[in-house]
């Protein structure tokens, strides 16, 4: 039941009516109803995984209470319980997400030495959204152990936070400090929330259906048959996938944020116009912000403190581990590991060149040069396109094929039959996207969707909806981040 499907909006309508009518004066009633709806929503994706979600929720609920109880009088026991919780949470993630990959890698290694195994048949079904709700669970007990959060004794409230249906499948990853308090107040039907949430949903649908899903026809054809394409085709597919990935994930984030806002909840933003970044450090502050900030707070900062005696090398080691974790968080594939390490290298280069770059800018008075900043923006974007090549490649073998094909412009340009029209409207839609984001970036705010003039905003919304139905791919595939 994806957010851009008719089934979801029927489900959302059924959920909203009792939520706003029968339970409008009771936040406990709203939480119970949301919990039932969230488990139904999750079960629609895979009902067999509902027990897992319930079990880990109960375990971490109990851990939160005990960690807080022992924080003052038995700090060592509190630390042991926190460590157990982290190991347990990471263990669940490793088992479902990475164990099958590791087993198959060992099987391949044994086959290399002529040893036969039955491990090829080993297969574990990965629960949808496990990376997202596991990170919620971990941050909950860590914040309690640090003394930044008091645990809730209301298991319904806690379970609702973990399973909140707009964000459970692909985020954003909300922190308990920000979200739990919102579950302790009743939410009423507010026109301003409905209006703003509706606009976010329409914009998310636009960039998902009119950009991401239209480009997927071409990019899937190229990357799933990489040996049949030349350098020009692969580079074009990489550029289009760079846009597709952003449109797909930010489209989902906008819709999730919009749905939550209609119900009265504010969830974290996930993107802040990352393609206008001038270096990779700035890029990662703007890209998938809920994940990046989570990794920074709970992995990078402790590592940076642990390695501080090593000086800048300690910083580089912490950065490399940080980006490696971000890479493999996306999936059990060597391509994601290389994706993370490649980005770590880019960040280290960025840190190493920061001082000489600033001296160069000061010497040549480039602080206000638009040409100079545009060139930095384009260089950052090019580095990210290469990262997306690693991200989208299906295997290390495909990466090797891409590298070996560079410079081969001899074969004809190949595109999927009938995809030209999708590419055309996808490019037009991309221009609309970046026109809006350019104006947002420079605080011009001339786009009409969020205009204070209700006539302008209404006309813009109707125009966008019409455009989506006319030129969008309404039967596109699942969101890319559902796999993670």
7 and 1 in contact (C-beta within 8 Å)?
yes
For residue 67, what pLDDT band results from cuts at 50, 70 and 90? very high
Per-residue DSSP letter, 297: I
pLDDT at 346 over 50: yes
Alpha carbons within 13 angstroms on the beta-carbon side of residue 429 total 33
Could you tell me which residue, 423 or 191, shows the higher pLDDT?
Answer: 191
- Please state the length of the chain: 484
What is the model's pLDDT at position 422?
75
First to last CA, the chain: 16
pLDDT at 15 over 90: yes
What is the model's pLDDT at position 201?
93
Q: Helix 155-163 vs helix 130-145: angle between axes, to the nearest 10 degrees?
A: 140
For residue 175, what pLDDT band results from cuts at 50, 70 and 90? very high
Average pLDDT value for residue range 49-61:
95
Q: What is the DSSP string of 67-85?
A: HHHHHHH-HHHHHHHHHHH
What is the model's pLDDT at position 412?
45
Give the phi and the psi of residue 300 in degrees, each rounded to 5: -65, -50
Alpha carbons within 13 angstroms on the beta-carbon side of residue 223 total 24
Burial level of 367, CB count in 10 A (0-12/13-18/19+)? exposed
Instruction: Assess whether 330 carries a catalytic annotation.
Output: yes
Number of Cβ within a 10 Å radius of residue 140: 27
Closest by CA position to 405, among listed 220, 225, 218, 221: 225
Q: What distance in Å separates the CA atoms of residue 232 and residue 244, rounded to the nearest whole number?
A: 18
What is the model's pLDDT at position 409?
60
Q: What distance in Å separates the CA atoms of residue 358 and residue 354, rounded to the nearest whole number?
A: 6
387 and 342 in contact (C-beta within 8 Å)?
yes
What is the model's pLDDT at position 442?
82
**184 three-class SS:** helix
* Distances 244 to 76, 212, 266, 330, 422 between C-alpha atoms, Å: 48, 4, 26, 16, 13
**325 three-class SS:** helix
For residue 111, what pLDDT band results from cuts at 50, 70 and 90? low
Q: Helix 231-262 vs helix 370-392: angle between axes, to the nearest 10 degrees?
A: 90
What is the model's pLDDT at position 113?
62
Residue-averaged pLDDT of the chain: 88
Least trusted range by pLDDT, from 144-158, 209-223, 244-258: 209-223
Four-CA torsion 325, 329, 331, 334, nearest 10 degrees: -10
Closest by CA position to 426, among listed 471, 364, 370: 471
Average pLDDT value for residue range 82-111:
81
Give the phi and the psi of residue 262 in degrees, each rounded to 5: -60, -35
pLDDT at 34 over 60: yes
Please pick, among 145, 229, 288, 330, the residue that the annotation labels catalytic.
Answer: 330
Q: Using omega within 30 degrees of 0 as the cis cutoff, is the peptide bond preceding 214 cis?
A: no
405-433 tens-digit pLDDT: 776 665 545 555 556 777 888 899 999 99
Closest by CA position to 290, among listed 470, 448, 132: 132
What is the model's pLDDT at position 106?
64
Four-CA torsion 177, 183, 189, 194, nearest 10 degrees: 40
181's tokens:
């308090």
What is the model's pLDDT at position 112?
63
Those residues whose C-beta lies under 8 Å from the C-beta of residue 61, and which sit 6 or more positions away, are 151, 155, 158, 159
Contacts 24+ apart (CB under 8 A), 292-297: 292/326, 294/135, 294/139, 294/173, 294/175, 295/322, 295/325, 295/326, 295/329, 296/322, 297/139
pLDDT at 101 over 80: no
291-317 tens-digit pLDDT: 999 999 999 999 989 898 888 899 999
188's tokens:
């009423």
466's tokens:
């019409």
113-137 tens-digit pLDDT: 666 666 555 567 778 889 999 999 9
Average pLDDT value for residue range 25-38:
95
Q: Helix 191-207 vs helix 231-262: angle between axes, to the nearest 10 degrees?
A: 170
pLDDT at 272 over 50: yes
Residue with tokens 């160069």: 360
Q: What percent of the chain has pLDDT over 70?
A: 89
Q: What distance in Å separates the CA atoms of residue 355 and residue 366, rounded to the nearest whole number?
A: 14
Give the phi and the psi of residue 426 in degrees, each rounded to 5: -65, -40
129 and 135 in contact (C-beta within 8 Å)?
no
Those residues whose C-beta lies under 8 Å from the C-beta of residue 435, and which sit 6 or more positions away, are 447
What is the model's pLDDT at position 482?
67
């Amino acid at each position: 039941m994806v957010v851009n499907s008719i089934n979801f909006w029927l489900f959302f309508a059924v959920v909203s009516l009792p939520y706003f009518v029968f339970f409008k004066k009771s936040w406990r009633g709203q939480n119970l109803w949301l919990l039932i709806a969230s488990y139904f929503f999750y079960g629609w994706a895979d009902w067999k995984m509902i027990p897992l979600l319930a079990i880990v929720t109960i375990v971490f609920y109990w851990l939160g209470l005990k960690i807080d109880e022992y924080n003052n009088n038995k700090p060592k026991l509190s630390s042991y319980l926190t460590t157990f919780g982290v190991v347990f949470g990471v263990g669940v993630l490793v088992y479902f997400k990475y164990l099958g990959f590791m087993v198959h890698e060992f099987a391949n290694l044994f086959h290399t030495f002529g040893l036969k195994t039955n491990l090829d048949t080993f297969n574990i079904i990965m629960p949808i959204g496990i990376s997202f709700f596991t990170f919620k669970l971990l941050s909950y007990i860590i914040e309690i152990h640090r003394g930044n959060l008091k645990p809730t004794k209301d298991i319904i409230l806690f379970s609702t936070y973990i399973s909140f249906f707009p964000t459970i499948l692909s985020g954003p990853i909300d922190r308990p400090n920000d979200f739990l308090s919102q579950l302790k107040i009743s939410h009423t039907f507010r026109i301003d929330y409905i209006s703003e949430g509706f606009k976010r949903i329409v914009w998310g649908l636009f960039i998902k259906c009119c950009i991401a899903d239209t480009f997927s026809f071409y990019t899937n054809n190229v990357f799933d048959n990489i040996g049949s394409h030349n350098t020009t085709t692969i580079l074009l597919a990489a550029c289009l996938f760079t846009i597709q990935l952003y449109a797909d994930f930010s489209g989902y984030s906008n819709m999730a944020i919009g749905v939550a806002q209609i119900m009265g909840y504010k969830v974290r933003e996930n993107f802040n116009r990352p393609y206008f970044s001038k270096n990779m450090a700035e890029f990662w502050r703007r890209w998938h912000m809920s994940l990046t900030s989570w990794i920074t707070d709970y992995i990078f900062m402790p590592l940076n403190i642990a390695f501080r005696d090593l000086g800048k090398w300690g910083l580089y080691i912490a950065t490399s581990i940080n980006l490696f974790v971000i890479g493999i968080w996306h999936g059990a594939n060597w391509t994601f590991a290389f994706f993370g390490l490649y980005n770590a290298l880019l960040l280290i280069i960025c840190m190493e060149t920061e001082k000489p770059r600033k001296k160069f800018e000061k010497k040549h008075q480039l602080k206000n040069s638009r040409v100079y900043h545009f060139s930095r923006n384009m260089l950052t974007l090019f580095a990210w396109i290469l990262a997306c090549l690693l991200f989208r490649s299906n295997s290390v073998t495909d990466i090797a094929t891409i590298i070996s094909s560079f410079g081969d412009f001899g074969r004809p340009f190949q595109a999927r039959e009938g995809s030209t029209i999708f590419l055309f409207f996808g490019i037009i839609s991309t221009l609309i996207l970046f026109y809006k984001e350019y104006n947002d970036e420079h605080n011009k705010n001339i786009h009409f969707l969020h205009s204070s003039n209700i006539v302008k905003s209404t006309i813009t919304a109707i125009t966008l909806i019409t455009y989506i139905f006319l030129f969008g791919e309404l039967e596109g595939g699942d969101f890319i981040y559902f796999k993670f």
